[in-house]
């Protein structure tokens, strides 16, 4: 169980890092959005264009990354939606049992289906043709737009991180059920 808890701790550290990155993406998104608004009106006033579709799409991409990187972070910190009027009054072991069953039956299944369903469209975005060969990767239809393939790949990454964080949560909940000692950092976040 100690090895599994070390793996869980590593996954939690990675998730924590991605959560901090997601918070930084929020700041960047707001900054780029602010620039786009000011540049659009200032450009009209000056008589020439000083913003591009690339910056508008960058804002969309950063907004998407905020969510895709944040999913696992939200799960790690227990900020996901729950039926708290029942769950809040249960003992830690009962909560752990409910979480193990729910994560195993529903969340793991959701992640696997999400990865399965998005894999082929992501490969197509990178230019994989139905015959297995590769062509051009997907680009923005807008002038000066960004390529679509990298951001679509982040969908797989987001589902993958949610999947491994789900496994980490299952490990921690099994440790709680078994009465295994969690590392000090994990005890703090579990409370």
Rounded to an integer, the average pLDDT of 29-49 is 89
User: What is the CB neighbour count within 10 angstroms for residue 170?
Assistant: 21
User: In 47-107, which residue ranges form alpha helices assigned H by DSSP?
Assistant: 53-76, 84-87, 92-102
Region 168-175: what's the mean pLDDT?
Answer: 94
Query: What are the domain boundaries of the chain?
Result: 2-190
Find residue 134's DSSP bridge partners.
Answer: 128
pLDDT class of 191 with cuts at 50, 70, 90:
very low
Which tens digit of pLDDT belongs to each residue from 97-134? 999 999 999 999 999 999 999 999 999 998 887 777 77
Euclidean distance between CA atoms 169 and 125, whole angstroms = 32
Report the alpha-carbon angle 162-102-22, nearest 5. Answer: 25
Q: Mean per-residue pLDDT for 53-70?
A: 93
- Tokens at 72, concatenated: 């696992």
């Amino acid at each position: 169980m100690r090895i599994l808890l070390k793996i869980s701790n590593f996954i939690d550290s990675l998730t924590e890092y991605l959560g901090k990155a997601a918070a930084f993406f929020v700041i960047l998104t707001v900054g780029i959005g602010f620039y786009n608004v000011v540049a659009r009106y200032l450009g009209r006033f000056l008589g020439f264009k000083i913003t591009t579709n690339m910056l508008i799409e960058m804002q969309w991409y950063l907004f998407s990354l905020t969510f895709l990187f944040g999913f696992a972070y939200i799960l790690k910190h227990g900020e996901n939606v729950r039926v708290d009027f029942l769950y809040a009054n249960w003992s830690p072991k009962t909560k752990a049992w409910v979480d193990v069953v729910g994560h195993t039956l529903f969340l793991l299944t959701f992640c696997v289906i999400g990865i399965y369903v998005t894999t082929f469209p992501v490969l197509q975005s990178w230019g994989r043709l139905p015959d297995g060969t590769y062509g051009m990767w997907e680009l923005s239809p807008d002038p000066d737009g960004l390529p679509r393939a990298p951001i679509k790949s982040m969908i797989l990454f987001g589902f993958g991180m949610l999947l491994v964080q789900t496994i980490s949560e299952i490990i921690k909940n099994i440790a709680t059920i078994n009465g295994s000692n969690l590392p000090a950092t994990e005890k703090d976040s579990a409370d």
